[in-house]
Chain A
């Protein structure tokens, strides 16, 4: 009998060294899709019991407790991040805690591929493919939002600033496309001056 082995969408891909940013795939992260009514105190308390954090209710925010993170996706939906090895355990605990509450939790670890962008040019490169005002102070560390990136649906999580670390979540079937997009567009970063006097962040 052969052993089943986990193979992510971008297994074996390595970014060339001459890109303006560093990109790599995050392979060890588990993801749980959690939905429920944010106005229901019982639901929020049960989620907090299991995850150790208050689910963020403010749009476009995230929360973290140790190795567990919760990203706001919509007013009643969150993406829970944890180490891949802990996903099953966490999911079982969530389901047990939420058994009597109108809600659902599903393991979606293999639904999306995570591409991590690092380096001072990360925002400028991403700007070539989306219409967010990534240079504005709104996009501080911890910000999460869904967007149209290079014509596909994506989820952006700003992990940290200076140095910039951005996680881009794309659906697995688009992983190849997104990766190739970065290889094609990540080489030279033009100084982006969208309108008027807007300055590009200092390098």
Chain B
């Protein structure tokens, strides 16, 4: 599987480590009433078949965090962005 790192170009997946779902968002409130949201955020993860956005760390290269959208069934990769850009897009509500 080749991941097209924005800094290093296409590199084999052995150089990367995967963290998991990139779309979960940390609850804004610390209020105990939001415990359910926190439970979801910390423990619950989907295991989708198909398109999935996840964090990858390019430890064997530029040491950047990336968000890779890939198909969990075919390993086809649809797009790679840096985690920084992804977070900014998320804030603007684009993702």
Instruction: Indicate the size class of the contact surface on chain B.
Output: 10 to 19
- Nearest-neighbor residue (CB-CB) of B9 within chain A: A138
The answer, yes or no, to whether B8 is at the interface (CB within 8 Å) is yes
Contact (Cβ within 8 A) B60 A74: no
- Nearest-neighbor residue (CB-CB) of B59 within chain A: A153
The answer, yes or no, to whether B79 is at the interface (CB within 8 Å) is no
- Nearest-neighbor residue (CB-CB) of B15 within chain A: A148
CA distance A66 to B60 in the complex (A): 30
**What mask results when residues 71 to 98 of chain A are scored 1 for a CB within 8 Å of chain B, else 0?**
0011101000000000000000000000
Residues 4-21 of B contacting A (Cβ, < 8 Å): 7-9, 12, 14-15
Contact (Cβ within 8 A) A75 B60: no
Residues of B within 8 A of A74 (CB): 7, 62-64
Contact (Cβ within 8 A) A153 B62: no
The answer, yes or no, to whether B50 is at the interface (CB within 8 Å) is no
The answer, yes or no, to whether A163 is at the interface (CB within 8 Å) is no
The answer, yes or no, to whether B27 is at the interface (CB within 8 Å) is no
Residues of B within 8 A of A145 (CB): 8, 61
The answer, yes or no, to whether A201 is at the interface (CB within 8 Å) is no
**What mask results when residues 26 to 61 of chain B are scored 1 for a CB within 8 Å of chain A, else 0?**
000000000000000000000000000000000011
Write the nearest CB–CB distance from B5 to chain A, whole angstroms.
9
Contact (Cβ within 8 A) A148 B14: yes
CA distance A77 to B12 in the complex (A): 23
Write the nearest CB–CB distance from B94 to chain A, whole angstroms.
21
The answer, yes or no, to whether A120 is at the interface (CB within 8 Å) is no
Residues of B within 8 A of A157 (CB): none
Residue in A75, A131, A153 whose CB lies within 8 Å of B12: A131
Residues of B within 8 A of A138 (CB): 9
Contact (Cβ within 8 A) B60 A146: yes
- Scoring B15, B61, B64 by chain A CB atoms within 10 A of each residue's CB, the highest score goes to B61
Residues of A within 8 A of B7 (CB): 59-60, 74-75
Residues of A within 8 A of B15 (CB): 147-148
Write the nearest CB–CB distance from A145 to chain B, whole angstroms.
7
Contact (Cβ within 8 A) B8 A59: yes
Write the nearest CB–CB distance from B31 to chain A, whole angstroms.
32
Q: A148-B14, A148-B15 are in contact. Are A60 and B8 (CB under 8 A)?
A: yes
Interface on A for B, CB 8 Å cutoff?
A: 59-60, 73-75, 77, 131, 138, 145-148, 153
4 new A-B pairs (CB below 8 Å) besides A74-B62, A145-B61? A60-B7, A131-B14, A148-B14, A148-B15
